[in-house]
Structure 1
């Protein structure tokens, strides 16, 4: 039986979180001289002289309606990377506990683990980039506190079979984090719809991909209110700045436009999926539910450098086990994709 109280590190259970000036204030007021701000004003000519809402109430309220969850089930971070880091700090004791990841996958799980002195256990995805569930279950140890599953997966682009994720959720007493940075490009439903079923489930999303706001650095984590309370306890007090909160709210008011942008990206993705295999240098294009394609080519290093010489930057993933000979190519605009195809066709 999953118990977040037992999973959370003892020192975090006992610690008293930082209390900001605005946390201690209740009611209404017209004079704010509690937070050592510059009350004369801001060089930007707006309210940026004031500290932002440390709890992002307006933004969480709007997100809750869009995502179909409660505001208390939302954590907002400075990119998904902050959520990854805080989740590891929450349940993993440095030098004692471990995470389990499923390569090839997103590299920040490993970076954050190394930073926090958390052991990294790995189970390689299968040839079609799916989870070998029985092997994962065998690798889960008492010191394993968290499993990261990226779906749709980066860098492979495919969605992970939901039955595999469900099997791990049912069998594991630690946190199972499903990273859905690319979920808006996929046809399968988000795991946020199943938070009530699995108290150990954490779902991560972002405004960086489908929403086209990578420069804001706004990541989201969805989980039980109990897990979110602990994440809020250990986060920096003002981790989401005022400008990010304002711009995110403005973007969310245009959420109806999201589907048209996603449809255009998916259409371009399908055009590339069919056009790339016709080129001599391309051996295989892997199925994708994301806004990029993993492409196996005859000479990954040579093609990568050739494209770079033509002013086209892709990602060389050929050094990753399971992605040998592969480039990861983001879906661009129609003009950018045509330029890419022409350059690959001219490569010898």
Structure 2
């Protein structure tokens, strides 16, 4: 929670739970992070501690400003307490005042948020996949047959004493199972909440099997009216109807409740990140507890991500532009009056989400499972930048990493926009043509002699369709002084390894990927730049904010999470490619079919101009690139019907 009045209300609840006018207790009493505190100094667990802010549990506490820290320290001195805890502060907050006052951070995991960007089932299918969605729906349907769901405003709780009593009893039992610690929702705490500032925004939810309450919890609507915090829940695990899936079923039911109420998100609190992902969480905000204790050492503050030495000089003098600087500062639970947008025309009136760290993790974890992607697990979200297609990544890296006068090397035949963007940016271009019968060999000595700032390689190559020699690429990485950029737009169609897993090992390697080709999302305009974090930081400084729309982010997440059809389509496409290549190789109009590890074939024809004219007359569009590779067309692999139509049209050209 981000509003001071809400935090004050939760502190009154904490005081009531402790039976004290001041929120002072041992850290062992609130228990949840005992292991982390004991690792600092076992004595801190039993020492009386003033708890600043609200509840140590689900809602987070905003970092206090300097005057509030001074008041907190003064209050501790007045109470004769040597130890102070400010729990659950977002790492993205300004914690300078806490550090200056002698507080030290203790890692507290992450708070987990489920953003409801559409209908619940659509959102969950996108986040967790169709199979896991099926599990959640099954748990929900089974629970619905055995237990009821009821939400009770706290203002009506006096009329339902059975609910109040069951809530208190279930939380007492839960505390016993946890070793007797952490029951911050006893009868006095519940009464304080019912009489406090949050009462009119808080509801109790209960699930009953017959007359027996098997689950009870609390949810509070945020002060901006857009979401709910799940404050607490407890389950009677001994009840026969409390089947193992009841907790998941209740979370699913909570999403339905929120969506039916027109809300945009559900705050699940802290928890195991992998489990929360399986429940649909898509926003994970790192937290720290801030502790001031006698003799406690304060670690040095971590600095900002250092820029790569490859950053162009002008880039080193400017910050990441505009709101993108605050991409890790969550705004879901704030009232945003900073963006100058129209609030009366729905969700499309808001700017896209800028924090794509979780989507980056989804991409890396999904692609790491593909053959030929060893080493990708060494990369983090800091190694990845989403761009508006891989071609946008080319423009970004040339803008951020090369200055006018610094050379760019390209290896024709290749994708023409490499050369185009370099010349637009006034960067001299050196062409070192590919060699060999299959256009698959580099003239590494000529490239090294040119000493380019950036060498851009297309592998698999467009338009040749072949792969480059890995030994030659490693030579460029080891001996060159500049950056080596490998565009892997078609690598999913290849049976040879990607270079993406090597990014963590090479300061001068950048790998470009896209979801436009194998992943079938050309309309989503999603490119991926994989590079060292210092390079990614440089690219952010020249990237236009908000270029990656919410609709595109949802489409990408859905495709990555439900990837089986993609993998099946790649296998089908390879088979159709081989069939078409074989048929073309035997066709009398064809001089040669180049070997391909892409979703297209480079084909040389005997009567090139006649073939092109006949295909055009038949309504078949191919890439006629005879000016680049003499007498050739680049032919995308279509479905069987389209490919057979191509073969028939070629026969007419004889």
Q: Hey, what does 1:207 align to over in structure 2?
A: 515
Q: Are the equivalent residues in 1 in contact too, given 2:311–2:535 (CA < 8 A)?
A: no
Greater RCO, CA 8 A, separation 6+: 1
Task: Tell me how far apart the structure 2 counterparts of residues 319 and 180 of structure 1 sit (CA, whole Å).
Answer: 24
Give the alignment partner of residue 632 of structure 2, picking from 323, 326, 340.
326
Give the alignment partner of residue 411 of structure 2, picking from 102, 123, 143.
102
Q: Are the equivalent residues in 1 in contact too, given 2:324–2:354 (CA < 8 A)?
A: no
Q: What value does the CA root-mean-square deviation take over the aligned residues?
A: 1.7
Task: Tell me how far apart the structure 1 counterparts of residues 316 and 413 of structure 2 sit (CA, whole Å).
Answer: 34
> Is 1:76 the counterpart of 2:380 in the alignment?
no
TM-score (norm 2): 0.50
Give the alignment partner of residue 34 of structure 1, picking from 338, 350, 373.
338
Q: How big is each residue's C-alpha offset from its partner over 1:141-169, in whole Å with a ceiling of 9 and x where there is no partner?
A: xxx21000100000000011111110000
Q: Are the equivalent residues in 2 in contact too, given 1:8–1:90 (CA < 8 A)?
A: yes
Q: Hey, what does 1:298 align to over in structure 2?
A: 606
Q: Hey, what does 1:15 align to over in structure 2?
A: 318
The 3 A distance-change label for structure 1 pair 114 and 21 is closer
Q: Secondary structure at the match of 1:257?
A: helix
Q: Are the equivalent residues in 2 in contact too, given 1:314–1:328 (CA < 8 A)?
A: yes
Give the alignment partner of residue 500 of structure 2, picking from 184, 192, 210.
192
Q: Secondary structure at the match of 1:20?
A: helix
The 3 A distance-change label for structure 1 pair 240 and 26 is closer
User: Which segments of 5 or more consecutive residues in structure 2 lack a partner in the other structure?
Assistant: 1-305, 368-375
Give the alignment partner of residue 51 of structure 1, picking from 348, 351, 370.
351
TM-score (norm 1): 0.92
Instruction: Return the offset for 1:48.
Output: 1.8
Instruction: Return the offset for 1:139.
Output: 2.4
Give the alignment partner of residue 338 of structure 1, picking from 644, 650, 653.
644
Q: Are the equivalent residues in 2 in contact too, given 1:104–1:155 (CA < 8 A)?
A: yes
User: Which segments of 5 or more consecutive residues in structure 1 lack a partner in the other structure?
Assistant: none
Task: Tell me how far apart the structure 1 counterparts of residues 442 and 461 of structure 2 sit (CA, whole Å).
Answer: 11
Instruction: Return the offset for 1:4.
Output: 6.7
Task: Tell me how far apart the structure 1 counterparts of residues 335 and 509 of structure 2 sit (CA, whole Å).
Answer: 43
Instruction: Return the offset for 1:111.
Output: 1.0
Q: Are the equivalent residues in 2 in contact too, given 1:151–1:158 (CA < 8 A)?
A: yes
Give the alignment partner of residue 542 of structure 2, picking from 211, 226, 234.
234
How many pairs are equivalent?
336
The 3 A distance-change label for structure 1 pair 28 and 50 is closer
Q: Are the equivalent residues in 1 in contact too, given 2:465–2:598 (CA < 8 A)?
A: yes
The 3 A distance-change label for structure 1 pair 154 and 21 is closer
Give the alignment partner of residue 399 of structure 2, picking from 89, 95, 101.
89
